[in-house]
Structure 1
């Protein structure tokens, strides 16, 4: 066979692999949505759960998931972007830099259950945060931070050297070149890192079982004092997220309609993750277009 025949065969194989991956994804999402959409209603999305009776909803769990996401990203994004900028633009080659990269890679490969146990020992017990949202946010930061650092570093390194040299040749300082030229060009990659980190926050359960807890106290959504125990904004209260709720409702099996609740919660979780990904990518493209003057 000649080179063109090999090329056609390789092209067909790669197309088939792509179709297989898309088919698996579509099938999985369709299965979850078909099983759960029938159980979703306004009452289900806004009411409190019932542990031993039929009915109930996931209102507090939805709020907890988004609140935990916001707190985690407020910690992860500045540290991750800062670490990526340092590793890409300022760190000198040597054993210190290699050790940092090795540490980042080791942290990114840690099982979430190990991170959860670390959070239980250090955050919940040693520092006395207890089972709380802040404990969960810090624990999620531990294994989301390496992801943000690596993706930010790779995104910055993908920007051509000529663009950096052009900025310096125009008299810009190194920091001004990074903020005005390098970061805008690397923004799509950085947005991808943020989306991946946010997806892990939404879907994480193991680490949160040992840090954020498996229950939510009665919340008063009219009380926005972050120091009050019944306030939804209190970061030091326990918080059961959607992923933890799915695990708990299935493991307990006390509610007569536990399977329906789990199916509905799974469908809500999938829809939220899909919408968040689409909105985040659209927002990232919009910001990139503004920062690069529409080019």
Structure 2
């Protein structure tokens, strides 16, 4: 190949690189614009009329001026129940699949099953929860049923994300720990998990946001009503959440200000999901600042 030909190939590669760079920047900018447009569209309708009174009042079936107090509490309560079940089991399953499970056909089939469950529609898990809690155990539509069903919905995704995060840790880091005489468990706890923590937290943020905004599972397992109390910790009470209340108000409510309630509920839902992500990521940001990253 002559020098002239090499120069032409180099120039062509540089042009392609610039085009690809501009294309990716353009796609990223369009995605950001779409996200900001969605946020502004939702916030501009509900945020100006949002008040503390709306956040703590009882919902109204007939009269104007209802709030979202009990359904907002139920949303956090069911989210907490689902996370305390799904996070330990999901993390443990992901670590087992990445570090302890033998590389054979059974493990490969199990991994395929987990991936398949991650893509199953949420209403299927809602029907499963309905069959288990409402029909088999006969406890009806409850907060407990909603929380456990959401945990089952999020377990496959959390296990898969954890497995991929642990597998992405470089093997040299593990070998360095073993060279210092550390046990496998000690290496996982003190070396592997801290390195994979950012990806694991991202997975937890995803499942937490999904659980908080889920409606199909809650409708089938926790119902379309509340106990009428603001702070009801009874696991066997009906557990309508904010996402379900938003759907109900938008589609079936007969109160005159249903549209305004739906707009404000949607704004609260978006704000809470953003705050959930911030709550999980802020400690990581502080830790990185202390370490000088």
Per the TM superposition, whether the score is higher than 0.5 is yes
Which of these residues, 90, 102, 110, is aligned with residue 92 of structure 1?
A: 102
The whole-number CA distance in structure 2 between the counterparts of 1:210 and 1:89 is: 37
Which of these residues, 206, 217, 220, is aligned with residue 196 of structure 1?
A: 206
The question of whether the paired residues in 1 share the 8 Å contact of 2:144 and 2:236 is answered with yes
Stretch moving more, 6-15 or 128-137: 128-137
Alignment of 1:1-295 (within 5 A): 2-219=12-229, 221=231, 232-286=232-286
Cα RMSD over matched residues?
Answer: 1.5
The whole-number CA distance in structure 2 between the counterparts of 1:287 and 1:149 is: 24
The whole-number CA distance in structure 2 between the counterparts of 1:202 and 1:261 is: 18
TM-score (norm 1): 0.92
String of CA shifts for 1:109-138, please: whole Å, max 9, x gaps.
Answer: 111111111111122211223211111111
The question of whether the paired residues in 1 share the 8 Å contact of 2:62 and 2:254 is answered with yes
The question of whether the paired residues in 2 share the 8 Å contact of 1:40 and 1:264 is answered with yes
Q: Which runs of 5+ in 2 are unaligned?
A: 1-10
The whole-number CA distance in structure 2 between the counterparts of 1:156 and 1:196 is: 17
The whole-number CA distance in structure 2 between the counterparts of 1:193 and 1:55 is: 38
The whole-number CA distance in structure 2 between the counterparts of 1:141 and 1:98 is: 23
Q: CA deviation at 1:294?
A: 6.5
The total of aligned residue pairs comes to 283
The whole-number CA distance in structure 2 between the counterparts of 1:128 and 1:21 is: 46
The whole-number CA distance in structure 2 between the counterparts of 1:275 and 1:192 is: 14
Structure 1 or 2, whichever has the larger Rg, is: 2
Q: CA deviation at 1:8?
A: 0.8
String of CA shifts for 1:190-243, please: whole Å, max 9, x gaps.
Answer: 10011001000111001110001110012164xxxxxxxxxx111111111110
Stretch moving more, 193-202 or 117-126: 117-126
TM-score (norm 2): 0.93
- Large movers: runs of 4+ above 3 Å: 284-290
The whole-number CA distance in structure 2 between the counterparts of 1:34 and 1:43 is: 19
The question of whether the paired residues in 2 share the 8 Å contact of 1:151 and 1:190 is answered with yes
Q: CA deviation at 1:289?
A: 7.2
Q: Which runs of 5+ in 1 are unaligned?
A: 222-231
